[in-house]
A and B are shown apart, each in its own frame.
Chain A
Amino acid sequence: MLELRRRGGCPGPGGAAPPPREGEAAGGDHETESTSDKETDIDDRYGDLDSRTDSDIPEILPSSDRTPEILKNALSGLSSRWKNWWIRGILTLTMISMFFLIIYMGSFMLMLLVLGIQVKCFHEIITIGYRVYHSYDLPWFRTLSWYFLLCVNYFFYGETVADYFATFVQREEQLQFLIRYHRFISFALYLAGFCMFVLSLVKKHYRLQFYMFAWTHVTLLITVTQSHLVIQNLFEGMIWFLVPISSVICNDITAYLFGFFFGRTPLIKLSPKKTWEGFIGGFFSTVVFGFIAAYLLSKSQYFVCPVEYRSDINSFVTECEPSELFQLQSYSLPPFLKALLRRETVTLYPFQIHSIALSTFASLIGPFGGFFASGFKRAFKIKDFANTIPGHGGIMDRFDCQYLMATFVHVYITSFIRGPNPSKVLQQLLVLQPEQQLNIYKTLKIHLIEKGILQPTLKV
Chain B
Amino acid sequence: MIAFFFIIIYLGPMVLMIIVMCVQIKCFHEIITIGYNVYHSYDLPWFRTLSWYFLLCVNYFFYGETVTDYFFTLVQREEPLRILSKYHRFISFTLYLTGFCMFVLSLVKKHYRLQFYMFGWTHVTLLIVVTQSHLVIHNLFEGMIWFIVPISCVICNDIMAYMFGFFFGRTPLIKLSPKKTWEGFIGGFFATVVFGLLLSYVMSGYRCFVCPVEYNNDTNSFTVDCEPSDLFRLHEYNIPGVIQSAIGWKTVRMYPFQIHSIALSTFASLIGPFGGFFASGFKRAFKIKDFANTIPGHGGIMDRFDCQYLMATFVNVYIASFIRGPNPSKLIQQFLTLRPDQQLHIFNTLKSHLADKGMLTTITEDNE
Write the residues of chain A forming the contact surface with B, with a CB cutoff of 8 angstroms: 30, 32, 35, 38-39, 43, 50, 180-181, 183-184, 187, 191, 194-195, 197-199, 201, 203, 206-207, 209-210, 214-215, 217-218, 221, 268-270, 365, 368, 371-372, 375-376, 378-380, 404, 407-408, 411-412, 414-416, 419-420, 422, 425-426, 428-434, 436-441, 443-445, 447-448, 451, 453-455, 457-458, 460
With contacts A422-B345, A432-B326 taken as known, whether A214 is within 8 angstroms of B124 at the C-beta atoms is yes
Q: With an 8 A cutoff between CB atoms, is B171 at the interface?
A: no
A-contacting residues, B254-290, CB 8 Å: 271, 274, 277-278, 281-282, 284-289
Secondary structure of the A side of the interface?
helix
The closest CB in chain B to the CB of A437 belongs to B354
Q: Which residues of A contact B334 (CB under 8 A)?
A: 419-420, 425
Contact assessment for B317 and A454 in the assembled complex, using a CB-CB cutoff below 8 Å: no
Q: With an 8 A cutoff between CB atoms, is B346 at the interface?
A: yes
Contact assessment for A203 and B121 in the assembled complex, using a CB-CB cutoff below 8 Å: no
With contacts A218-B124, A460-B360 taken as known, whether A428 is within 8 angstroms of B326 at the C-beta atoms is yes
Contact assessment for A420 and B338 in the assembled complex, using a CB-CB cutoff below 8 Å: yes
Q: How far is the CA of A1 from the CA of B6 in the complex (A)?
A: 54
B256 CB, min distance to chain A CBs, angstroms: 15
Q: With an 8 A cutoff between CB atoms, is B336 at the interface?
A: yes
Q: Which residues of B contact A180 (CB under 8 A)?
A: 321
A-contacting residues, B319-368, CB 8 Å: 320-322, 325-326, 328, 331-332, 334-340, 342-347, 349-351, 353-354, 357, 359-362, 364-368
Q: Which residues of B contact A419 (CB under 8 A)?
A: 334, 337-339
A195 CB, min distance to chain B CBs, angstroms: 5
Q: How far is the CA of A8 from the CA of B354 in the complex (A)?
A: 79
A383 CB, min distance to chain B CBs, angstroms: 15
Q: Which residues of A contact B318 (CB under 8 A)?
A: 184
The closest CB in chain B to the CB of A50 belongs to B113
Q: With an 8 A cutoff between CB atoms, is B90 at the interface?
A: yes
Q: How far is the CA of A7 from the CA of B208 in the complex (A)?
A: 63
6 A–B contacts, CB within 8 A, in A order: A32-B287, A431-B326, A437-B353, A453-B343, A454-B366, A460-B364
Contact pick for B281, options A201, A214, A379, A443, CB 8 Å: A201
Q: How far is the CA of A113 from the CA of B264 in the complex (A)?
A: 41
Contact assessment for B112 and A372 in the assembled complex, using a CB-CB cutoff below 8 Å: no
Top 8 A-B residue pairs of the complex, sorted by shortest distance between their CB atoms? A206-B285, A379-B112, A428-B326, A379-B113, A415-B90, A184-B321, A420-B334, A207-B285
A-contacting residues, B41-75, CB 8 Å: none
Contact assessment for A215 and B120 in the assembled complex, using a CB-CB cutoff below 8 Å: yes
Binds A, one of B101-109, B144-152, B155-163: B101-109
Contact assessment for B350 and A422 in the assembled complex, using a CB-CB cutoff below 8 Å: no
A-contacting residues, B223-251, CB 8 Å: none
Contact assessment for A453 and B368 in the assembled complex, using a CB-CB cutoff below 8 Å: yes
Q: With an 8 A cutoff between CB atoms, is B176 at the interface?
A: yes
Contact assessment for B107 and A439 in the assembled complex, using a CB-CB cutoff below 8 Å: no
Q: Which residues of A contact B104 (CB under 8 A)?
A: 270, 368, 371-372, 375
A-contacting residues, B92-130, CB 8 Å: 93, 97, 100-101, 103-105, 107, 109, 112-113, 115-116, 120-121, 123-124, 127
A40 CB, min distance to chain B CBs, angstroms: 9
Contact pick for B285, options A210, A371, A414, CB 8 Å: A210
Contact assessment for B112 and A184 in the assembled complex, using a CB-CB cutoff below 8 Å: no
Q: Which residues of A contact B310 (CB under 8 A)?
A: 191, 194
Contact assessment for B100 and A368 in the assembled complex, using a CB-CB cutoff below 8 Å: yes
Q: With an 8 A cutoff between CB atoms, is B294 at the interface?
A: no
Contact assessment for A428 and B107 in the assembled complex, using a CB-CB cutoff below 8 Å: no
A220 CB, min distance to chain B CBs, angstroms: 10
Contact assessment for B271 and A191 in the assembled complex, using a CB-CB cutoff below 8 Å: yes
Q: Which residues of A contact B113 (CB under 8 A)?
A: 50, 379-380
Q: Which residues of A contact B320 (CB under 8 A)?
A: 183
Q: With an 8 A cutoff between CB atoms, is B314 at the interface?
A: yes
Q: How far is the CA of A414 from the CA of B334 in the complex (A)?
A: 13
How would residues 171 to 208 of chain B score, 1 for a CB under 8 Å from any chain A CB and 0 otherwise?
Answer: 00011100000000000000000000000000000000
